[in-house]
Amino acid sequence: MQRCFTLTIVRHWALRKKLLTISYQQSAAMSTLLINQPKYAWLKELGLSEDNDGVYNGNWGGKGEVITSYCPANNEPIARVRQATMAEYEETVQKSRDAWKVWADIPAPKRGEIVRQIGDALRKKIKVLGSLVSLEMGKIYVEGVGEVQEYVDVCDYAVGLSRMIGGPVLPSERPGHALIEMWNPVGLVGIITAFNFPVAVYGWNNAIALICGNVCLWKGAPTTPLTSVAVTKIVAEVLEQNNLPGAICSMTCGGADIGTAMSKDERVDLVSFTGSTHVGKMVAMMVQERFGRNLLELGGNNAIIVFEDADLNLVVPSAVFASVGTAGQRCTTTRRLMLHGSIHDIVVERVAKAYKQVRIGDPWDPSTMYGPLHTKQAVDQYLAAIEQAKQQGGTVVCGGKVMDRPGNYVEPTIITGLAHDAPIVHTETFVPILYVLKFQTEEEAFAWNNEVKQGLSSSIFTKDMGRVFRWLGPKGSDCGIVNVNIPTSGAEIGGAFGGEKHTGGGRESGSDSWKQYMRRSTCTINYSKDLPLAQGIKFE
């Protein structure tokens, strides 16, 4: 009896010690999270906590893998998110389909009113949400706020669009007949976004898709889950205040398994994917296999071409902003700077001097112009690309090193001396490396611009109006964005955004991009008492 009692006591204390150890470890882990530090208390204004649900479909949940989000500026953990299981994905898709039945019956201008409220809710949180983008993605504070502003701007644009979308009434060749083009929502739009614009790209798709009568299912990047959660909380509150199903704007945090499921799922009528060309190609094949629709916004190997008559006071700041902004992690980042031989040396000298004046620091510091790369893997890619460039004949004239400080900081880099068709020049590397190429003729420069696989953004600097219109014409740039005397990055929301070739061909945001989210029907209505056939056919 005494032995049993003693064993019981020993086991009790062993168990208590184990539980205390686990509790201590959990407390220690929690104390190291940035969200628990007074400096980052503002994160809780967005409804975030140490552990966050990564599924929303009218209700919050998440029973899958727990992932930790890290700050690229110091590689310290911010907070945790529990991702979706496949069962939760299935439930969310079904709830989204049910929510569509409600949303599609609401008139488009009324849907626009809901989108207006979403924009207003984002305005109220613009600084704190922009700070989260800066903390979690790594871009500087003004860019983080600017990204939220893009979502707000698209909401404003979509409100007006909600009273304008529709097709024409066409003249019929038959008496007593009307020919009408009708546009209806596709249904459920799956939106897969990348780390580099964790708010704006969702906003482009979400606001336009909503006014068109669609519901949205969002899978954000696995490395920016807190931003996905925070944005969804803002949108969900608007839907709740209007007594609308939350699954109109649902979210499933997850990895490739969720993205694959969305791509293969026939219930997802349109898959909008933003990311690498490699993954985009796989998404396109999975969607096409089921004859679904896809909207692809993939990579870009973008060029600025500077002719001998260019205004260098425009060229230098444009080249610096477009190559260094977001630490070279925009899809529209300038990766190739093509300079006419007569001005090559002076432009390289001036751009290199400007690079050295770029203020590097914590991304949330308002004075910082250049922050970290998003991940440690990106730092490795940066070093590998520089080594390849050297092996292929390039010379590093500025930068080229990893910075000796916490976080994923590298020096913005300029490399000269490479051939225009060097393998590394034709490879899109998502890091701040600018390859400078020397050309002699307009024909040569235009050809070099177009010889890469991607076709997203491009720009020339010149005062020659004949050259400008040749650049804009059929033998000029083959890109979706064709600029003159401005950088390759920094597009406005009013124009259609997207590119050609390996960039995917999709268009988002402005112009007639709304058509990507709708299906078109040609309707012929006979309001006469006769039955004339088209093309004058007699069938009597």
Count the Cβ atoms, other than its own, within 10 Å of residue 455. Answer: 25
Helix ranges, 162-224 (H): 200-211
| Residue 96 parent element (H or E) | helix 86-103
Select from 388, 52, 358, 412 the least CA-distant residue to 232. 52
Question: What is the spatial distance between Cα 354 and Cα 369, in angstroms, rounded to a whole number?
Answer: 12
Angstrom distances, CA of residue 473 to CA of 238, 255, 446, 482: 45, 41, 11, 10
Question: What is the spatial distance between Cα 107 and Cα 165, in angstroms, rounded to a whole number?
Answer: 12
By three-state DSSP, how is residue 488 classified?
Answer: coil
Count the Cβ atoms, other than its own, within 10 Å of residue 507. Answer: 20
Active site residue 113: no
Select from 290, 133, 295, 300 the least CA-distant residue to 221. 133
By three-state DSSP, how is residue 73 classified?
Answer: coil
**For the chain, what percentages of helix, strand and coil (3-state, to nearest 5) are there?**
45, 20, 35
Contacts of 43 (CB under 8 A, 6+ apart): 34, 35, 78, 79, 132, 135, 226
In this structure, the strands spanning 457-461 and 66-71 are unpaired
Would you give the end-to-end CA distance of the chain in angstroms? 107
Burial classification of residue 267, based on how many CB atoms lie within 10 Å of its CB (0-12 exposed, 13-18 middle, 19 or more buried) = middle
504: left (phi over 0), alpha (psi -120 to 50) or beta: left
Q: Which residues pair with 1 in a beta bridge?
A: none
Angstrom distances, CA of residue 271 to CA of 81, 159, 162, 222, 274: 24, 23, 22, 18, 10
Q: Which residues pair with 61 in a beta bridge?
A: 55
In this structure, the strands spanning 334-340 and 302-306 are parallel
The answer to whether the beta carbons of residues 377 and 420 sit under 8 Å apart is no
The answer to whether the beta carbons of residues 508 and 204 sit under 8 Å apart is yes
The pair phi, psi for residue 472, each rounded to 5°, is -80, -15
Contacts of 456 (CB under 8 A, 6+ apart): 298, 299, 300, 301, 302, 331, 332, 479, 480, 481, 498, 499, 500, 503
Catalytic residue among 147, 150, 297, 411: 297
SS3 assignment for 494-532:
CCEECCEECCCCCCEECCCHHHHHEEEEEEEEECCCCCC
Q: Which residues are catalytic?
A: 297
